Amino acid sequence: MSFDLGKILASKHALRRDLAGRPIAEKLRILDALRERTLVLHGSKSLTSEPDAIREVPKSYRDKRE
C-alpha cells in the first residue's frame, strides 16, 4: 500500500473517469450489487429495528432493457 497522495489522487481520478464512461445500465447493476452487499453487512434486523420508521423498497433496475 502506498501513502503517496499524488498516486492516490491519480488513482481516484482514473477510477472516476472509468466509471463515468460506463453505460447507465452497468452503473445501475453496480448500485444494485452495492445495495445488496450493504443489506447483508448490516443485516436485515438492524434495518427493520424501528417499528415506526417509514421504509421505501427501492426499485430494482435489473432485467430491464439489456
Contact 25, 33 (CB under 8 A): no
The Cα–Cα gap between 26 and 32 comes to 10
- What confidence tens digit (pLDDT) does each residue in 30-46 have? 999 999 999 988 876 55
For the chain, give the percent of residues with pLDDT over 90: 53
State pTM to two decimals.
0.51
Contact 25, 65 (CB under 8 A): yes
pLDDT above 90 for 61: no
pLDDT above 60 for 13: yes
Whole-number pLDDT of residue 64:
58
Angle, CA of 14, 19 and 22, to the nearest 5°: 130
The residue-averaged pLDDT of 38-66 equals: 69
